[in-house]
């Protein structure tokens, strides 16, 4: 079971080679290849599912978080050869398939089908990546690599930066910018998929201000 791009693990995109080998090994050994799309799925990577970025076909993949647009729901999608092994009642769950959560999931799916959200994810994701790389170039003593797909981006904080990712997240919060750490040394950017160009630009200004305050210079 693999995330196409690791979220909590530090925003680490998988590679086509790695996933192709995992697919081959699973096939050779009669194992299932399962992708965890809870964090990277539902359009966040710029494609509907993260595994599309890697051109691999999992036997099963999971989804949650954005699946219900904030209403708690989780789901598992399976290829026919695999789903046939499950019968009604095999996988009991107190809230499974409840009408409210399913209505929320359906509304999200309809919105994604009827609006070109993915183009926005790709364009705003590129804007964010370029902007973060610029800032990293100016503050190279503190900031390292910028990585990720679409609107799930990570900024690496260097080992000898003198601060942790969590501390920088706190600095950004003082500037009115909500971020979240992904492990001890990566600051994670996960804006809404409908974020506007001006909002990404504003976020970059605020992030740079937070870094500048931390290192004691003027941006």
Ligand X SMILES: Cc1ncc(COP(=O)(O)O)c(C=O)c1O
Residues in contact with ligand X by the rule CB under 6 A:
3, 7-8, 36, 38-39, 64, 74
Give the nearer residue to ligand X in terms of CB position, either 65 or 124.
Answer: 65
- Of 155, 160, 156, the C-alpha closest to 132 is 155
- Quote the DSSP letter at residue 2: B
| Non-local CB neighbours of 197 within 8 Å, separated by 6+ positions | 123, 124, 127
Give the nearer residue to ligand X in terms of CB position, either 19 or 139.
Answer: 19
Minimum Å distance from CB 8 to ligand X?
6
| Non-local CB neighbours of 82 within 8 Å, separated by 6+ positions | 32, 59, 60
CA 119 to chain centroid, in Å, comes to: 16
Minimum Å distance from CB 60 to ligand X?
13
Give the nearer residue to ligand X in terms of CB position, either 101 or 136.
Answer: 101
Give the nearer residue to ligand X in terms of CB position, either 7 or 131.
Answer: 7
Report whether 172 contacts 210 (CB < 8 A): yes
Minimum Å distance from CB 130 to ligand X?
26
Minimum Å distance from CB 72 to ligand X?
7
Q: CB neighbours (10 Å) of residue 33?
A: 20
């Amino acid at each position: 079971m693999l995330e196409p791009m690791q979220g909590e693990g530090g925003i680490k995109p998988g590679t086509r080679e790695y996933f192709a080998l995992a697919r081959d090994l699973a096939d050779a050994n009669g194992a299932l290849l399962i992708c965890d799309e809870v964090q990277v799925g539902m359009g966040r990577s710029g494609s509907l599912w993260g595994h599309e970025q890697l051109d691999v076909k999992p036997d099963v993949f999971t989804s949650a978080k954005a699946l219900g647009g904030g209403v708690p729901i989780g789901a598992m999608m399976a290829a026919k050869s695999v789903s046939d092994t499950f019968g009604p009642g095999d996988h009991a769950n107190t809230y499974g398939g409840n009408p409210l959560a399913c209505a929320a999931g359906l509304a999200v799916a309809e919105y994604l089908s009827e609006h070109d959200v993915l183009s926005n994810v790709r364009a705003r994701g590129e804007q964010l990546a370029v902007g973060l790389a610029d800032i990293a170039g100016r503050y190279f003593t503190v900031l390292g690599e910028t990585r990720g797909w679409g609107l799930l981006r990570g900024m690496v904080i260097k080992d000898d930066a003198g601060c942790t990712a969590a501390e920088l997240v706190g600095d950004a919060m003082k500037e009115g910018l909500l971020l979240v750490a992904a492990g001890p040394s990566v600051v994670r950017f996960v804006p809404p998929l409908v974020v506007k160009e001006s909002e990404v630009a504003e976020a970059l200004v605020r992030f740079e201000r937070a870094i500048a305050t931390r290192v004691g210079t003027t941006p």
